[in-house]
A and B are shown apart, each in its own frame.
Chain A
Amino acid sequence: MQAPIADPIQVNRASISGPGPVLKVDNLAVAYKVRGGEIEAVHEASFEIYRGESHGIVGESGCGKSTVAWAIVNFLGPNGYVKRGSITFLGQELVGKSEEELRQLRGDQIAMVFQDPMQALNPSLRIGDQMAEVLTVHRGISREEAEARCLHMLERVYMPDPANVLRRYPHQLSGGQQQRVVIAMALLNNPALLIMDEPTTALDVTVEAAVLDLIAELQRDFDTAIMFITHNLGVVARVCDKVGVMYAGEMVERGTVEEIFSRPRHPYTQGLLRCVPRLGMNKAESILYPIRGRVPPPNARPFGCVFAPRCDYARERCLQEKPRLRPVSAGVGESVSEVRCHFAEEIDPDQWRPPLDLELPIAATPPAVSSNTGEPLLRIEGLRKYYRVQGNALRDVLGLGAKRYVKAVEDVSLSVPKGITLGIVGESGCGKTTLVKTIIGLEEPSAGKMHFLGFDITNGINKRDVRLIQEMQMVFQNPDATMNPTYTVGQQIARPMLRFKTVPKHRVREEVIRLLKAMRLDASYYDRLPRQLSGGEKQRVGIARALASRPDLILCDEPVSALDVSVQAAILNLLLEVQRQFGTTLIFIAHDLSVVRFFSDYVAVMYLGQMMEIGPAEAIYAPPYHPYTEALLSAVPIPDPKAQQKRIRLEGTVPSALNPPGGCRFHTRCPRRHLLPDGGRVCETETPPWRDAGHGHRIFCHLPLEVLRTLDPVLTTPSHEA
């Protein structure tokens, strides 16, 4: 057991904090001054965090959770201010104090970890210098001793080769390693309170799992109070003890994690839990129910209960009177939840039925695999995409050095029948985006063949026939950037129709409105500009634009990653309905296995440019697995604290695609290598064969199928038996 270095501050801290909460926020209201008035970002937030407790703050974008954190550390910027309420830290009031007094009160007792580690790391200083600075400035200890403590702390956060890392610059570390450094820096002074603002959102799933494990362990060792801000309910279920749910600037529910997930009281929490994709469900069960309506903008919040316009249980009183955050009896031990709802006791989530106007896809019968005879819609054989990299040495500039390539996609073959949905899953750098770009022709393949509708499309988009281009369209990831800000919605949807001449000119407007209606947007959207639309609406318009030319195939590049959870559900349902109505084939890229699960007929898993496994969706989520798929499934945070998930963590980092490992590219991190004779020597030298597990399920591994079948399933949930 690693014993912390004897630290006088820890002794001091114990005497300061006493039995009370480390942080107590009471009726906090924070506002920002803007041109022509002010916006109240946080209307009423109250919670408290005790020592050794991890308190999650969950909410969608715009709910004010980050603003609460910034108010605590006085980070609001020149136009933000605390309008009402109190923030008490270790018994001392923080609101209303001057900058200097706050600095002394907080001192080194509050540390913050941001979403983007580069915000906390100075790119022009070495890691060792930055970390030592934390100690030398706050404690005034000598440089050598500071470095020794930094080294020790890096070991605590399981940083490989810590002595070397101290001498490196931030850009020489991976994202996960940077985040570990930031966490180490935050813990160096043994703070009483650690605020983490979406620390793992920007990380890959497997890296995220490792960092979350680290946070849980450090919390136990250091006995720090943690305030954990996130929008991901799965992360909350894994890491937090208590959770507060925020909506539109107010805390609407608070309680222990078990209570909130098993018996949510507030209709918003119930709605959230219904629209979060879960890994354990089988396909028929896992319909996502979006929350109707949209989040009110901060300057147009409703008068009574802020959730009333979207609530299925709203009554007269909800529209008139603002509910207060009040305790409601839990009935489980002594834990008491607090809810901001007039009728919390009368609402039973098990009795809920989806209202009629909620957009849901009609339960699609998956096309039988065998009925797809004839030419597949898209056939890819041995596709490779290499990017040439120019070295910096003089030899390379003169053209004399060895040529180096980023091998982004290596030998991918697949065959997509008509009318199905193929989900491609992988972490960042696995080549899924490059694959899709090559398919659509934004990149030219380096080797291999592609056939679409029987025609050869092994070339860039400039060389393709316009009728083929018409049949393959794409939906993009970032809703803000997917539309041209200077043209109206109607103009942008009409453009493909005019370009491909699918519709005579005088009928274009009518057709555009029909498409808008299919996207559940009414005709008034025709003349709106993109800046007047919300993220979900922009993405719908992006889908409408892709559909405008009636393509046979639509490629979706992470279309819901940048959207809030409740909006994600609506867009995914929309895509399903589009597929049913228009008969389009979809290829869907995601990095989240749970999203792809209920949505796809087939799933392909990619790692470092190679396809590791492909097969029908049910087959992927049950053994036999590829070891990488197994690791991915065990890393995804599940929004159910009672779910039992195997804990398989991958060692090391993803190797560089400039110099990928030989043979099976996963062999450097594979946790199942030892099952092969000779410790898996063959994985390093030979390309694995494709193991056929039937029904189109193929696994790219040296391990024989019998061995793979004996592995336990990753997920066993006592509440959901499949």
Chain B
Amino acid sequence: MSVAQPTLDTLAPSTRQRWRENLQLVLASRVATIGLALVLFWIIVGLVSLFWTPYPPNSSLFAQNQLPNSTNWLGTDHLGRDILSRLMAGTQVILLKTRLPNRDWVIPGGVAFWGVLGALVFGSFLGLNAGYRGGWWDQVIMQALDALVAFPAIVLYLVIITAFQRGDLVVIFAIALTGTPGIARLVRSLTLDIKTRDFIRAAETRGESAFYIMFREILPNARGPLLVDAMLRVGYAIFAIGTLGFLGLGLPPPDPDWGSMVNDARRYIFVFPWGVIPPSLAIASLVVGLNLFADGLREELARYQK
């Protein structure tokens, strides 16, 4: 029952120190380190591709369906485009940039990123309200989200994309919508736990508004698990984009998209089996990397907690 004394530092941890602590946490887990390395690898490849790729990704410069050789390190696709360049450029739309409709404008951050961010925002809002206010709020919100979950994700994507036509923002909306229930549930359960603590009572005795308590007191304490979940969802989103691309509903041309690369190469699979391999491996490695990172981080965070 008595409170034990923790290790004492006399100075507040500076921002640099906090980053270093977090990095040490990650590096302590082999699994998380490998995951981080994979993810960083693709981000760096993507950043590099913004400025340079071996060849222009959308130009048919070479012979079709070539196996890897000295000029095309990963070979060429059915239209004679260099696969390596297309692979590198494929990271952009997913991770790095989003094209706005009707203009040539681009906003930073890929579709997967914005989609998961949207899911985080909606999901947190709904989950906090359901968890904190309880009662009818809880019932209504959670039942509505349960109804949403009842639809298979792909069906929802299909419906949304056929309704709104292909486009980056539509995919973002679709990812956000399918991700909201899961995040809302997570945030709700975290809220139910955090709500019982004394500092929330203290805020209530100050007469703080419900919004203040939800967003300024409860939400910052839910950061850890939420971050881990969000990272996993980026993986799912990439996978979903790949699937959509495969179904022909993915991000519109001309920017290369791993999913549609797989779809295109699929048609030549008996003649040129190599074509599907690079984009498939790319999707797999990025998703696996995110998963490993999230898993390792969760393991480390829980390891020395009582």
Q: Is A172 an interface residue (CB 8 A)?
A: no
Q: Is A60 an interface residue (CB 8 A)?
A: yes
| B201 / chain A contacts, CB cutoff of 8 Å | 442, 474, 476
- A673-B1 Cα distance, complex, nearest whole Å: 36
Enumerate 18 A-B pairs (CB-CB under 8 Å) in ascending A order. Answer: A35-B304, A61-B3, A62-B4, A202-B1, A440-B205, A461-B204, A472-B205, A473-B205, A484-B199, A484-B221, A499-B207, A499-B208, A524-B10, A528-B9, A529-B12, A529-B13, A531-B6, A534-B8
Q: Which of B213-234 contact A (CB under 8 A)?
A: 217, 220-221, 223
Q: Which of B1-40 contact A (CB under 8 A)?
A: 1-13, 28
The distance from the CB of A362 to the nearest CB of chain B, in whole angstroms, is 28
Q: Is A532 an interface residue (CB 8 A)?
A: yes
Q: Is A563 an interface residue (CB 8 A)?
A: yes
0 or 1 for each of B272-306: is its CB under 8 Å from A? (1 = yes): 00000000000000000000000000000001100
Q: Is A496 an interface residue (CB 8 A)?
A: yes
Q: Is B147 an interface residue (CB 8 A)?
A: no
The distance from the CB of B192 to the nearest CB of chain A, in whole angstroms, is 15
Q: Which of A419-453 contact B (CB under 8 A)?
A: 440-442
Q: Is A105 an interface residue (CB 8 A)?
A: no
> Does A483 contact B2, Cβ atoms closer than 8 Å?
no
| Contacts known (A499-B206, A529-B13); A561 close to B1, Cβ less than 8 A | yes
Chain B interface residue count, Cβ-Cβ cutoff 8 angstroms: 30
The distance from the CB of B197 to the nearest CB of chain A, in whole angstroms, is 4
Q: Is A388 an interface residue (CB 8 A)?
A: no
Q: Is A295 an interface residue (CB 8 A)?
A: yes
Q: Is A163 an interface residue (CB 8 A)?
A: no
Chain A interface residue count, Cβ-Cβ cutoff 8 angstroms: 61
> Does A60 contact B198, Cβ atoms closer than 8 Å?
no
- A499-B303 Cα distance, complex, nearest whole Å: 39
- A538-B202 Cα distance, complex, nearest whole Å: 14
From B300, which residue of chain A is reached at the shortest CB distance?
Answer: A35
0 or 1 for each of B169-210: is its CB under 8 Å from A? (1 = yes): 000000000000000000000000000011101101111100
> Does B12 contact A482, Cβ atoms closer than 8 Å?
no
From B18, which residue of chain A is reached at the shortest CB distance?
Answer: A529
| Contacts known (A461-B204, A474-B201); A535 close to B13, Cβ less than 8 A | no
The distance from the CB of A436 to the nearest CB of chain B, in whole angstroms, is 11
0 or 1 for each of A34-48: is its CB under 8 Å from B? (1 = yes): 110000000000000
The distance from the CB of A530 to the nearest CB of chain B, in whole angstroms, is 9
Mark A residues whose CB is within 8 Å of B.
34-35, 60-62, 115, 198, 201-202, 231, 294-295, 297, 299-300, 440-442, 461-462, 464, 466, 469, 472-474, 476-488, 495-496, 499-500, 524, 527-529, 531-536, 538, 542, 545, 549, 561-564
> Does B207 contact A466, Cβ atoms closer than 8 Å?
yes
> Does A535 contact B3, Cβ atoms closer than 8 Å?
yes
| A464 / chain B contacts, CB cutoff of 8 Å | 207
- A473-B201 Cα distance, complex, nearest whole Å: 11
From B13, which residue of chain A is reached at the shortest CB distance?
Answer: A529
| Contacts known (A231-B2, A483-B199, A529-B12); A469 close to B304, Cβ less than 8 A | no
- Which of A35, A61, A529 has a CB less than 8 Å from the CB of B2? A61
| Contacts known (A61-B2, A461-B205); A482 close to B198, Cβ less than 8 A | yes
Known: A60-B2, A61-B5, A534-B3. 16 other contacts (CB 8 A): A62-B4, A202-B1, A440-B205, A461-B205, A469-B207, A480-B3, A481-B198, A484-B199, A488-B12, A527-B12, A528-B9, A528-B12, A529-B12, A529-B13, A532-B8, A564-B3
